[in-house]
Amino acid sequence: MRALILAAGEGSRLRPLTENKPKALVELCNKSLLERQVATLKIAGISDIAIATGYRGEQIQKLGFDCYHNPDYASTNMVNSLFNALPFLEKKGDLIVSYGDIVYQLDNLEKIITSDAAVSVMIDKQWLKYWQLRFIDPLSDAESLILNDDCTIKELGLKTQNYNDIQGQYIGLIKVRGDKLTALINFYQDLARQKLSNIKDFNNMYLTDFIQLLINANWDVGATCVNGGWLEVDSLEDLNLYEELAKDKKLDSYCKLEK
């Protein structure tokens, strides 16, 4: 089992904290997001960890991580950073892929590790409580997520004004089975050759877009469903909110951080 953390983004909504450092090195309760993720991965027995870097990537590199730098981070999106780490993807074994701006509980990570779907996507079924904490209107940020009866994913990642289209929220954590990685790489490279829609849109494809394309191509994309136990640090408002909740000893009702 290996893990690739996607940490190339600038984190503009976290400025001024990200003026001189990448988003993944922003601290939550006195530890960086990256430090927290890596600690959780290692507790779960995952020590082969690589980072897809971009903005201020040298700061992550100097910490001694195995890094794959995306020089086009400012004009591309996460899928580009993911496949820029091709040598790491080509190694043997199951692969965890995680956004760099999230933290999650060990029990959630252990749950997705045990999934046997070709591609497993972590879904928060208690998303509404968490979105109501962060947004006046949860639908302003939430995206569609519709499950089939067998708990595979039918649709995700679209804007919607209908709560019935939201059976959970994707948290930014997936697992790809090791025996499916070559097929996954080939699928992406075929898309690149087709220049999906146009090259600009292809380079800016979100990971949810890519997952939906896999679903449309009849891949086995399973939902690993959890009830909270994770946080996204997307803005200063998020960070300040979590720090206040931690100070008041209320953060544990959303996510229990490793000490």
Would you call 66 helix, strand, or coil by DSSP? strand
Q: Which two tokens stand for residue 32?
A: 């960086």
Q: Residue type for 132, please?
A: Q
DSSP for 90-157, please give it. TSSS-EEEEETTEEE-HHHHHHHHT--SSEEEEEETTHHHHHHHH-SSGGGT-EEEEE-TTSBEEEEE
What are the domain boundaries of the chain? Answer: 2-250
Determine the pLDDT at residue 116: 94
Token pair 């497993």 in the structure block, residue: 120
16 upstream amide cis, omega within 30 of 0: yes
Residue 200's pLDDT is what? 56
Q: CB burial class (10 A; 0-12, 13-18, 19+) of residue 183?
A: middle
pLDDT of residue 142: 94
Element (H, E) at 75: none
Token representation of residue 201: 């849109």
| Domain 2-250 belongs in CATH node 3.90.550.10 | yes
CA 38 to chain centre: 14
Query: What's the pLDDT score for residue 159?
Result: 93
Written as six digits, the tokens of 135 are 């947004």
Model pLDDT, residue 201: 76
Which residues of the chain, if any, have pLDDT below 70? 195-200
Q: What per-residue confidence (pLDDT) applies to 195?
A: 66
